[in-house]
Amino acid sequence: MTVDVVTEEPGLALPGWVAVCRVGDLSPERGAAALVGGEQLALFRTHTDDVYAVQQLDPFSGAHVMSRGIVGSRGDAPTVASPMYKQVFDLRTGECLDPAGREPQPLRTWATDVRDGVVHVSRHEVAA
């Protein structure tokens, strides 16, 4: 599923953030791709309604497929497994938890905020 960026109506977007979609547009435990400021992102809504944003580009395969990954958890960490080679990443930090026999490579992440049912993504990725 790909989500359309919500039109930035006055009062809808937060300063330094982009209003991306309504939280109800995201299916729990599934990913969705979004184009934010020219960057392809993968958005994930967990069963607890937390929303995470990571790069759509799989660092191991070079394909833009992370939104099609399998959502799960490791302990208290929400995770996504790449649909290509099955590396597992922490959605909170982008850390590669299981490199599947390769050198670990993290995913870039962006802060998210849900206000009044609208998912906002920071215009700047979280520093590693």
- Over residues 36-77, the pLDDT tens digits come to 988 999 999 999 999 999 999 999 999 999 999 999 999 999
Stronger pLDDT, 2 or 101, i.e. the higher one: 101
Q: What is the pLDDT of residue 7?
A: 43
**77-102 pLDDT, tens per residue?**
999 999 999 999 999 999 999 988 89
Whole-model pTM over 0.95: no
* Long-range contacts of the stretch 114-119 (C-beta < 8 A, 24+): 114/23, 114/49, 114/51, 115/14, 117/22, 117/23, 117/24, 118/6, 118/12, 118/19, 118/20, 118/21, 118/22, 118/23, 119/19, 119/20, 119/21, 119/22, 119/23, 119/25, 119/26, 119/43, 119/51
Average pLDDT of the residues in 8-30: 81
Q: How confident is the model at residue 3 (pLDDT cuts 50, 70, 90)?
A: low
pLDDT at residue 10 greater than cutoff 50: no
Average pLDDT of the residues in 3-20: 64
pLDDT at residue 9 greater than cutoff 50: no
Q: What is the pLDDT of residue 11?
A: 47
Q: Retrieve residue 14's tokens.
A: 């937060």
Q: What is the pLDDT of residue 128?
A: 65
CATH of domain 17-125: 2.102.10.10
